[in-house]
């Protein structure tokens, strides 16, 4: 009975770590900065804060989650999606479509560039010209986008990527794309993005421990024990994040 309780507690602890909002595994972060369980609280805070700061700096989300977008129908067959990389198109529907409860059959749309594993590119939805006669007022898209640090999903993703029967070629532009999207299709966090999260989290963690390693910024007060420093992101982290920043025109 006692062993069962210990097993349940360990499972709860694993679930808690898996739900941590971070671009790198928590245990990997602990090993790299050389800390034990006594400093878990500060380590979790620094890791989560680093991830949120990176997303704010890059003006986009990175971790895999589900998104909803609605597009007004203007006759255009291309709908750009806000978040990327897209790993699955769950559904598309329109209230004006009177059949199939408004759901648009997947054969009438596809993502582009599709499952381009390893490419940091915005995604679009390409609609079939066959939908034009329906004169839809708006369409709603539900999709998964972002990177995952779940090792099990990454193994499945690699198996999917090696399945050449899923790869098709666009007849118009000649680009290859993945013809099948599943909820197991996950992309790993890129190495430079994970490194940026690691650097920023470690930078903050060392400040909290009083080392002030890599501390930058302008002094707004006496600077006693660092509480009056105006913190900015380290230059090496900004350089790593530059390819992932959303360019606003």
Mean pLDDT by 10 residues, the chain (249 residues): 52 54 92 90 92 94 93 88 90 81 88 65 89 86 87 39 40 40 66 94 84 50 48 86 88
Compute the Cα dihedral for 122, 128, 132, 135 and give only its sign: negative
pLDDT at 114: 67
pLDDT for the residue 231: 55
Q: State residue 152's pLDDT score.
A: 37
Under 8 Å between Cβ of 51 and 196: no
- Pairing between strand 147-148 and 187-188? parallel
Neighbours of 191 (CB within 10 A): 9
Residues forming a β-bridge with 147? 63, 187
The total number of residues shown for the chain amounts to 249
pLDDT value, residue 161:
39
- Spatial contact of 23 and 147, defined as CB atoms under 8 Å apart: yes
- Token reading at 228: 């009056």
pLDDT of residue 60: 94
So what's the pLDDT on residue 26?
A: 92
Burial code of 144-166, b = ≥16 C-beta within 10 A, e = fewer? bbbbbbeeebbeebeebbeeeeb
Q: Residue 189's closest CA among 241, 139, 226?
A: 241
pLDDT of residue 82: 92
pTM for the model: 0.71
- Report how far residue 125's alpha carbon sits from residue 88's, in angstroms, rounded to the nearest whole number: 12
pLDDT of the residue at 45: 92
CA distances to 16, 113, 138 from 191, rounded to whole Å, are 24, 22, 38
Q: Given this model, what pLDDT does residue 211 score? A: 55
């Amino acid at each position: 009975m006692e062993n069962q309780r210990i097993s349940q507690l360990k499972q709860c602890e694993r679930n808690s770590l898996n739900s941590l909002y971070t671009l790198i595994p928590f245990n990997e972060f602990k090993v790299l900065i050389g800390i034990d369980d006594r400093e878990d609280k500060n380590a979790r805070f620094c890791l989560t804060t680093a991830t949120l700061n990176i997303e704010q700096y890059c003006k986009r989300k990175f971790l895999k989650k589900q998104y909803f977008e609605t597009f007004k129908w203007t006759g255009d067959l291309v709908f750009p999606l806000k978040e990327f990389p897209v790993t699955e198109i769950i559904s598309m529907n329109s209230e004006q479509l009177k059949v199939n409860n408004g759901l648009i059959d997947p054969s009438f749309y596809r993502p582009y560039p599709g499952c381009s594993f390893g490419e940091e590119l915005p995604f679009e939805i390409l609609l079939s010209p066959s939908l034009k006669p329906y004169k839809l007022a708006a369409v709603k898209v539900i999709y998964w986008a972002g990177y995952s640090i779940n090792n099990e999903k990454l193994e499945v993703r690699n198996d999917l990527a090696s399945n050449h029967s899923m790869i098709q070629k666009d007849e118009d532009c000649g680009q290859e794309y993945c013809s099948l999207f599943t909820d197991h299709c996950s992309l790993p966090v890129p190495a430079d993005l994970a490194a940026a999260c690691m650097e920023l989290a470690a930078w903050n963690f060392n400040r909290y421990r009083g080392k002030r390693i890599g501390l930058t910024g302008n002094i707004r007060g006496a600077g006693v024990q660092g509480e009056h420093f105006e913190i900015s992101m380290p230059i090496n982290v900004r350089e790593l994040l530059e390819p992932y920043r959303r360019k606003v025109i």
